[in-house]
Amino acid sequence: MKTVYVLNGPNLNLLGMREPAIYGSSTLADVQKLCEEACARNGLALVFRQTNHEGEMVDWVHEAGRVHAKGELAAVVMNAAAYTHTSVAILDAVKGTGVPLLELHVSNVQARESFRHHSYLSATARAVMCGLGVAGYGLAIEAVAQW
Ligand code: DQA
């Protein structure tokens, strides 16, 4: 059984109360449940985490890279949140480990402020999804189950 790492960046612990007009009313616990159900449907194991710290995200990509090296990783589904637009360190971790990456955003970042239009991760991601709300997490898992 392969494993999907669903990694969430800063402020996503505030889902449900954070700018609900943009991010909706589901909590991160709701998102985790949705991911668990999608993984169960697709015969995948799930590692689901959230951090407000860039280095911790880098460490988790390295951990996923070790799973990848054993041939046991389906993909990393990452909502790097604000680090998407700032983090060369996370980009280098993805490049350095070679993990297959699906970059995910709850909101349509292209329809928002211009500083959200650039992603350090997109060029190294195998796929990018945004604007589907938290349902995007379930759809992302359905997609990487085919990788
Ligand atoms: C986000 C979009 C980012 O621009 C923002 O910084 C986030 C969340 C999203 O899921 O829509 O924190 O990644």
pLDDT 10s per residue in the chain (147 long)?
999 999 999 999 999 999 999 999 999 999 999 999 999 999 999 999 999 999 999 999 999 999 999 999 999 999 999 999 999 999 999 999 999 999 999 999 999 999 999 999 999 999 999 999 999 999 999 999 999
DSSP-assigned states of every residue in 67-133: HHHTT-EEEEEEE-GGGGGT-HHHHHHHHHHT--EEEEESS-GGGS-GGGS--SSGGG-SEEEESST
* Residue type at position 100: P
| pTM to 2 decimal places | 0.98
Residue 112 CA: nearest ligand 1 atom is 4
**Residue tagged active-site, from 5, 68, 105, 120:** 105
Q: What are the pocket residues of ligand 1 if the criterion is a CB atom closer than 6 Å to any ligand atom?
A: 11, 79, 81-82, 84, 105-107, 109, 116
